[in-house]
Structure 1
Amino acid sequence: MLAALLFLIPATFFCYGVVRDRRRLSNAVWLGVSLVMLLLLLAEAGQDNPAVSLPLLLAFVLAVLGLMLLPLALLANGLVMLRREGRSLGNLLSLLAGLALLGEMVYFAWGISQPSDWIRGSAIGLFLVSAYIAFLFVSLLLYSVIYGRTGRRHGFDGIVVLGAGLVGSSVPPLLANRLDRALRLYRRDREAGRSPVIVVSGGRGADEEVSEAFAMREYLLAAGVPAEDVVLEDQATTTEENLRYSKALLAERGLNGRVVAVTNNYHVFRTAVLSRKQGLRLQVIGAPTAWYFVPSAFLREFVALLVRNPVVHGLACATLMAGGLALTQVN
């Protein structure tokens, strides 16, 4: 009974948050808590029911194996990123995360067996901090998938395409995927009798020959979109500016109805969170991304979401670390 209640409370908060606003960051946390409580509920039910306990045990074994193999998978992905995308901090995230996770596992296995209370306490504390970060990561990943696969898919007055880096003056595959997704939305609404406007948003970087917006407009014009249906926004340098400037341009044209922003799938939920922060009413839809690019890209998005609340997460990690040290001192 208690396990069922512990599941229903966070599940209720999750459902309420989704109904109120799908872009709330807390929805991801309530989803994670609900899933943890659901596992506890199933574990309790499995004590008296083999039909439940066997699948639960299998899921647990698979989860443990997945956790053990995760550092190796991240290391392999990091090497692929370096080979295909070059050296940069963003491209190194998978490699660094894999090394950090592997190092934490080795330290925990070594530290827990040491006679020193401080070493054992630090090993336990680091394990708790890692579990906390893993919980947030999995929760955000799952909710990002849910957000990206739900919501309206047609009937828009404005379609905002967020810019990405160019190769000289050419549109690279990452940005082309966004434009192709916007084209599908545009053509679907045109066939239904609507007249959506596409806003291409992105300024000019230091290593780019033209603005991202200009290159995107040329791409759309070459694909057959009439020039009057493409609006140029070539001043934005961040996602926040992409959203704010584009919405202002649509408002100038009297288009204050349904608006959708198009970006890559790994970037969808953070874009939605940023739009909510700015008080903008819009939906975000994702375009496909090369498989090898997704882990590093989502890790970058995860870090960007974490640093939005540094005090909260810093205090949580410090408390968990102190708790691990306290456990060995009490014993």
Structure 2
Amino acid sequence: MLSTRENLHRSGKGGEGVKTVIRGVVLAAGLVLCAVYLLPAVFFGVWSLGTWVGLAAGAVMAIGAKRWPAITEFCRKRRIRWLSGGILTVSVVLVFYSLALCGCMVFGALQAPPKDPEGTVVVLGSKVNGTTPSADLQARIDRAADYLLEHPDLSVVASGGQGAGEEISEAEAIRDGLIAQGVEPSRIYLEDQSSDTEENIAFTLQVMEENSLSEPLLIVTDEYHEFRANLIAQHAGAESYAVSGATPFYLLPACVAREVLALTKQLFFAWL
């Protein structure tokens, strides 16, 4: 029979082994996360807020896992064990919160219109480099063109203003791209004053009202963006559906990280 002390010693060693495995998994996940954000930045030049957020999250995970024994020992010696527990709790909450928002993004992208849709297609703008659509805007244009050619009775509003480094408005870039792919110019309406998603929707609804275009809005944007765009449309009292474009793979990590921040602002700090 093992003594009580021996049993406690063995269970303690087993617990330490589990903790070591968990730290190893978190360390590996942090390094993978850093690679997912760093590789597109190095090879495709994707440096954005989302890139830095993803790199920071991965670095915190990796360094935190590596140094966790030292952190807990520091807190024990300073008699502030609550601090290490608080750090761990906040970290777990943030991970699950981010995963929940990613789930919302997937849900939003799946809210497709009926097979025989009515309403108005709305293409949301994104960066234009001079007069050339960025990769994600081109993906939206391509998806919208395919959808409009499949449904020749639908009209479309190209939505997006002109920002820094853009020689034409995003709406004009969308219009030109649609015409180049065979969409009749008479089907295209421009909204060229907006500077963010909320203005995209608000100003597009004005254009629709002025031109007697019907709802629902059939919103063409990237998959990750559909949930927020449709949320804004529905808060504005408009019925809407998702017509999702395929985000280029090398842009997706940074875009999703940035969208987590944008959704957080939309859900909790819309008054700012």
Same fold (TM over 0.5): yes
Pairing partner for 2:28 from 54, 69, 86: 69
Supply the distance in 2 between the matched residues of 1:171 and 1:180 (Cα, whole angstroms).
11
Supply the distance in 1 between the matched residues of 2:184 and 2:268 (Cα, whole angstroms).
46
Supply the distance in 1 between the matched residues of 2:201 and 2:185 (Cα, whole angstroms).
21
Equivalent residue number for residue 125 of structure 1 = 86
Q: Does residue 1:249 correspond to 2:210, yes or no?
A: no
Q: Does residue 1:95 correspond to 2:55, yes or no?
A: yes
Instruction: Give the TM-score normalised by the residue count of structure 1.
Output: 0.68
Q: Which runs of 5+ in 2 are unaligned?
A: 1-21
Q: Which runs of 5+ in 1 are unaligned?
A: 1-62, 312-331
Q: Is the 8 A contact 1:213 1:233 kept in 2?
A: yes
Q: Is the 8 A contact 2:31 2:58 kept in 1?
A: yes
Q: Is the 8 A contact 1:85 1:91 kept in 2?
A: no
3-state SS in 2 of match to 1:208: coil
Equivalent residue number for residue 16 of structure 2 = none
Answer with 1 or 2: which has the greater Rg: 2
Q: Is the 8 A contact 1:156 1:189 kept in 2?
A: no
Pairing partner for 1:79 from 18, 27, 38: 38
Equivalent residue number for residue 174 of structure 1 = 136
Counting helix residues as a fraction of each chain, which structure ranks higher?
A: 1
Distance 1:92 1:275, change over 3 A: same
Distance 1:296 1:306, change over 3 A: same
CA shift for structure 1 position 173: 2.2
Distance 1:222 1:66, change over 3 A: farther
Equivalent residue number for residue 122 of structure 2 = 160
Q: Is the 8 A contact 1:148 1:286 kept in 2?
A: yes
CA shift for structure 1 position 140: 1.7
3-state SS in 2 of match to 1:92: helix
Supply the distance in 2 between the matched residues of 1:102 and 1:64 (Cα, whole angstroms).
9
CA shift for structure 1 position 233: 1.0
Equivalent residue number for residue 252 of structure 2 = 294
Instruction: Quote the sequence identity (%).
Output: 28
Supply the distance in 2 between the matched residues of 1:309 and 1:168 (Cα, whole angstroms).
33
Matches within 5 A, 1:102-113: 102-113=62-73
CA shift for structure 1 position 86: 4.8
Distance 1:186 1:86, change over 3 A: closer
Distance 1:197 1:308, change over 3 A: closer
Letter in 1 for 2:193: Q
CA shift for structure 1 position 122: 1.3
CA shift for structure 1 position 77: 2.1
Instruction: Give the TM-score normalised by the residue count of structure 2.
Output: 0.81
Give the superposed CA RMSD: 2.4
3-state SS in 2 of match to 1:292: coil
Equivalent residue number for residue 264 of structure 2 = 306
Supply the distance in 2 between the matched residues of 1:283 and 1:65 (Cα, whole angstroms).
42
Supply the distance in 2 between the matched residues of 1:91 and 1:280 (Cα, whole angstroms).
33
Supply the distance in 1 between the matched residues of 2:26 and 2:156 (Cα, whole angstroms).
43
Q: Is the 8 A contact 1:104 1:126 kept in 2?
A: no
Q: Is the 8 A contact 2:108 2:230 kept in 1?
A: no
Q: Does residue 1:146 correspond to 2:146, yes or no?
A: no
Q: 63-72 or 146-155, which moves further after superposition? A: 63-72
